[in-house]
Structure 1
Amino acid sequence: MSIPVVTVGQAQEDVVGGLERLHGPVTVVRRCTELAELLAACQSGLARAAVVAEGSEDLTASLADRLGAVGVAIIALTDSPEEAARLHGIGVTSALTTVDSAALAERISDAVAQLTGSGLTGRRPASNGLTASGLTGGKQREHGFAETGAALRPEADEAVPVPSAAGTGKIVAVWGPAGSPGRTLVAVNIAGELAAAGQSVLLVDADSYGASVAAVLGLLDEAAGLAQACRLADQGLLDRETLLRVAVPVAATAGSFRVLTGITRADRWTELRSAALALVLERAREVADVVVVDTGFCLEADEELSFDTMAPRRNAATLRSLEMADTVFAVGAADPVGVPRLVRGLAELETAVPGVAPEVVMNKVRAAAVGRSPERQLREAWDRYGPGTGIKAFLPSDPGASDAALLSGSLLLEVAPDSRLRAAIARLVCAPVQQKRRSSVFSSTAKAKLRG
């Protein structure tokens, strides 16, 4: 099989000449003068592999992800162990600048085979990690994004540091259709209840349309922690300590957790690129027992609307969060408008993220909107017209408690610890109701992970 290759960098002459003298399947079809030209050549379908002879520092996780999406593997040449480790972290294969032509050709062939065989956005099977002690169960799943160079381990003389093992923390995504069904309220208080139960928790605001976690918690934060983390991850510079520095600590009466705040303006959605967010969530697994993600509502695969396959995707943050989640809570408003929206939204969710097994949560349950015995009527209607997925929980409407929490920028467990809404959310995640217990995001588990 012929493997067309494009190259870039001042050192490409030796690379090109050596590969051409082999007369093998690896064939150089274009010599580019800059990275932008190489990207255009790859996007046009000209090549199956790209060799970056110089300038590897300009490579990012998003670039590798997009080239992988069009079937192009990247091999970068560098003599720096630190740069090789960074490249490995963003899914790029590296080799020494002195690598001989035969070895380089073999790596190119292996990289293309690996990319073709594994794909780039493999869906991991859903698993629910809810246990009596919080979200500590569930099956640890594979990466939700491709590691282009996973099978291309460096030779011994390249001395690339071995990356740390994948974290064991669980990802909980809170999603819901359009119409303000209460996603953020549920996500924030799930984080608070799990922190009160002794879990180390990281709350992530990944809503690219209307991020509001910071406002709900009363945080005067304009830095957009998630955007900062994605930027560092895209460059291969996000480690565990840096992630914890970027995340904002939130201290509550019965525990504390950390928050990666969302983008401060909707037009900043381009900063939440899919590959970078995936790296952030994988790193978050290493520092927290539970990662709670407040997602956006829209599931539209907007790449179908664009001819530019290299362009960022507005809904990538939501889709990637749902793909990587161990547990997905689908929140819908319990009224004549919210229920049909949720039914249609679940069908869209199944199409957008095949194999997902959401836990349905009916929020704002009240007799005034549904009639007498609202839970019974909702369950009967759901059994008759719903998509076959049972209802996991009913969260009662409690505007007094909700408004008090929003006004003070606090959790329900602080301003309304005895409210039925607070108790229902605690039961949803199987967290015992805690009143005064202190816990921290730097729990013994998280500290042990950081020391390791």
Structure 2
Amino acid sequence: MSIPVVTVGQSREDLVGGLERLHGPVTVVRRCSELAELLAACQSGLARAAVVAEGSDELTASLVDRLTAVGVVIVALTDSATETARLTAIGVTAAPAGVDSAALAGRISGAVAQWALPGSVQAGDSGFADTGAAIRTLPGEGDDLPAEPSGAGQVLAVWGPAGSPGRTLVAVNMAGELAAAGNSVLLIDADSYGASVAGLLGLLDESAGLAQACRLADLGQLDADALLKIATSVALKPGTLQVLTGITRADRWTELRASALGAVFEKAREVADYIVVDTGFCLEADEELSFDTMAPRRNAATLRSLELADTVYAVGSADSIGVPRLVRGLSELEAAVPQASPRVILNKVRASAVGRFPERQLREAWERYGPAEGIASFLPSDNAACDAALLSGSLLLEAAPESGLRYAIAETVCAPVQQKRRSSVFSSTAKRHLKG
């Protein structure tokens, strides 16, 4: 069966004509004058492949996802090695501008066949219609396959339901403890509703580092060096922490496209041992709320972060309001990201809100009414330490190194801090804060 193809650009007549004369693998069904016309033709279901003869520099990862979401692969003609590398990075099959018709038809057939392989992604990513899609590339026949990602960095996503359970506090201090243990750590603020990592660390940053990285990733221009230049370096007494700050206004959420964010994570794995991500709270699948399935998704950043995470920490407040919210949130998380398998953290644990022996009471209540996931960690409330850290724009390990909360967070991420082994987080220092 012949593959229907649309083209754009002033390609050589003998090339397009040659494709038409092959009478076999491909058929040119429309010649478009500009990229917008090609996009409209592809979204109408007219073609399975698009040949971009000119203007490949206008192709972005988001546009490629928009086309692959409707089952269209892209082949671009270019003689530039730099442009070929960029196109391959965003999922485009590149071919020389002087390629003959038969070879071009082979590239098109190979790209379509690769797209249709069992187990390959056959839809767009969570930036558009599918919240469970993965990053992919579409190499053409005869292309050198891109190298496997060399990074082995672990992505740790910190999520929690609405109601300020302490996601950012936990994420920032987890990153700090990992950095203090001698690891290279990149902290990413992917909260598209209320980014606050910069404020918590006292950074006067208005550049929105994550948005910058996503912009470069969307253009296929993000590499490890560029990522490190964008990241803000935070000096700690025992080490250094790299930070990608969040968007400066909530209305900039459209800059955090899921496809670009996935590419940022891929590069982040190459430059850091651990990538700690502070996510937003909302897990709604946006396509259920909109008739335009190709529009950007409000919660794409959170969903993509959770999808790509190696470990998900679910944080909830340890009180009569926070615990039920967390239970409902975990059910939503399982539906949105079934592979997450979160580790549950109860934060702000205090006797005044739960009663005597709060850890035991919370565990018994959770076993009776909570979901299958057990409680992995209890973090004691320590308002004095948190206030001191916030006032100084620093981490607990610097502002309150002896805090029971600091020790509990360090133990949660297995950071080898100097501390005496405790059977419970509610001993010595922690107990003093509970009484307060």
TM-score (normalizing by structure 2) = 0.90
Q: 1:195 maps to what in 2?
A: 179
Task: Give the Cα–Cα distance (whole angstroms) in 2 for the partners of residues 415 and 120 of structure 1.
Answer: 50
Q: Answer whether contact 2:188 2:275 (CA < 8 A) is retained.
A: yes
2:166 aligned residue: 182
Structure 1 stretch 46-55 or stretch 413-422: which is displaced more? 46-55
Residue of structure 2 equivalent to 1:90: 90
Structure-1 separation of matches of 2:338 and 2:13? 46
SS of 1:344 mapped into structure 2? helix
- Rounded Cα–Cα distance in structure 1 between residues aligned with 2:6 and 2:289: 28
Paired residue for 1:269?
Answer: 253
Ranges in structure 2 where 5+ consecutive residues have no aligned partner: 126-131, 420-436
Unaligned runs of 5+ in 1: 124-142, 436-452
CA apart distance, 1:12: 6.0
What residue is the counterpart of 1:110 in the other structure? Answer: 110
User: Which of the residues 345, 360, 364 maps onto 2:329?
Assistant: 345
- Counterpart position of 1:29: 29
Say whether 1:224 aligns with 2:208: yes
1:292 is matched with 276
1:359 to 1:121, Cα distance in 2 relative to 1, 3 A: farther
2:305 aligned residue:
321
Equivalent position of 1:148 in the other structure: 137
Q: CA deviation at 1:200?
A: 0.3
Are the structure 2 counterparts of residues 291 and 383 from structure 1 closer, same or farther at C-alpha, using a change threshold of 3 Å? same
1:319 to partner: Cα distance: 0.8
Secondary structure of 1:363's match? strand
CA contact (8 A) 1:253 1:414 kept: yes
Note if contact 2:313-2:342 (Cα within 8 Å) is conserved in structure 1.
yes
1:356 pairs with one of 335, 340, 352: 340
1:237 correspondence with 2:221: yes
Aligned residue type for 2:54: E
1:302-347, Cα deviation, whole Å (9 max, x unpaired): 0222232332111111111111111110111111111111111111
Identify the range of structure 1 (265-274 vs 95-104) with the bigger mean alpha-carbon deviation: 95-104
Counterpart residue identity of residue 175, structure 1: W
- Whether 1:46 aligns to 2:46 is yes
Find the aligned partners of 1:14 and 1:115 in 2 and give their Cα distance: 28
8 Å Cα contact 1:212/1:262 also seen in 2: yes
| Residue aligning to 1:8 | 8
Measure how far apart 1:15 and its partner are.
3.4
Alpha-carbon distance, 1:40 to partner: 1.2
10-19 or 82-91, which moves further after superposition? 10-19
Amino acid at match of 2:276: V
Residue type at the aligned position of 1:336: S
CA contact (8 A) 2:149 2:266 kept: no
Hey, what's the Cα distance between the residues in 2 that align with 1:48 and 1:89? Answer: 21
TM-score by length of 1: 0.87
Q: Show the counterpart of 1:79.
A: 79
Asked if structure 2 preserves the Cα contact closer than 8 Å seen for 1:193 and 1:426, the reply is yes
Residues in 2 aligned to 1:280 and 1:150: alpha-carbon distance in whole angstroms: 20
What is the CA–CA distance in structure 1 between the aligned matches of 2:389 and 2:192, rounded to whole Å? 24
Aligned to 1:66: 66
Whole-angstrom CA distance in 1 between matches of 2:172 and 2:263: 22
1:96 and 1:106 map into 2 onto residues whose CA distance is 13
Provide the rounded CA distance (Å) in 2 between the counterparts of 1:378 and 1:337.
13
Instruction: Deviation per CA, 1:129-185: give whole Å up to 9, x if none.
Output: xxxxxxxxxxxxxx9733232464427xxxx9x657431111110111111110000
Q: Quickly say closer, same or farther: Cα 1:368–1:76, change in 2 above 3 A.
A: same
Counterparts of 2:243 and 2:256 in 1: how far apart (Å)? 16
Structure-2 residue corresponding to 1:391: 375
SS at the partner of 2:408?
A: helix
How much has 1:3 moved relative to structure 2? 2.0
Query: Take 2:41 and 2:322, find their aligned partners in 1: how far apart are those partners?
Result: 47
1:93-126 Cα offsets, whole Å, 9 max, x none, are 1001121222212221221222233015799xxx
* Residue pair 2:202, 2:392 contacting (<8 A) in 1 also: yes
- Structure 1 residue 407: deviation in Å? 1.2
Moved over 6 A (4+): none
**Structure 2 residue aligned with 1:119:** 121
Question: Partners of 1:25 and 1:34 in 2: how far apart?
Answer: 25
- Distance in 1, Cα, partners of 2:418 & 2:29: 65
1:27 Cα deviation from its structure 2 partner: 1.6
Change (3 A) 1:356 1:368: same
Write out per-residue CA displacement over residues 362-419 of structure 1, whole angstroms, 9 at most, x where no aligned residue: 1111112122211111111111111101111000111111111111111000011111
Number of aligned residue pairs: 411
Residue type of the alignment partner of 1:54: E
Opposite residue 313 of structure 1, the aligned amino acid is R
Distance 1:365 1:190 in 2: 18
Instruction: For residues 31-66 of structure 1, give each alpha carbon's deviation from its aligned partner in whole angstroms, at most 9, with x where no partner exists.
Output: 111001111111222221111111101111111122
Calculate percent identity across the aligned residue pairs. Answer: 74
Task: Answer whether contact 2:307 2:339 (CA < 8 A) is retained.
Answer: no
The amino acid across from 1:89 in the alignment is A
**Paired AA for residue 72 in structure 1:** V
Give yes or no for contact 2:66–2:124 (8 Å, CA) kept in 1.
no
Which of the numbers 300, 306, 309 marks the counterpart of 2:290?
306
Q: Measure the CA separation in 1 of the matches of 2:14 and 2:262.
A: 36
Contact 1:51 1:76 in 2 (8 A): yes
Q: Aligned to 2:402, which of 396, 418, 422?
A: 418
Decide whether aligned partners of structure 1 residues 261 and 431 sit closer, same or farther in structure 2, where only a CA change above 3 A counts. same
Structure 2 equivalent of residue 400 of structure 1: 384
Amino acid in the other structure paired with 2:64: A
The structure, 1 or 2, with the larger RCO (C-alpha pairs under 8 Å, 6+ apart) is 1
| Distance change (3 Å), C-alpha of 1:255 and 1:416 | same
Q: Is the 8 A contact 1:12 1:31 kept in 2?
A: no
From 235, 248, 260, the counterpart of 2:244 = 260
- Is the 2:159–2:278 Cα contact (8 Å) retained in structure 1? yes
What is the distance in 2 between the residues matched to 1:35 and 1:60?
A: 12
- Structure-2 change in CA distance of 1:16 and 1:151 (3 Å): closer
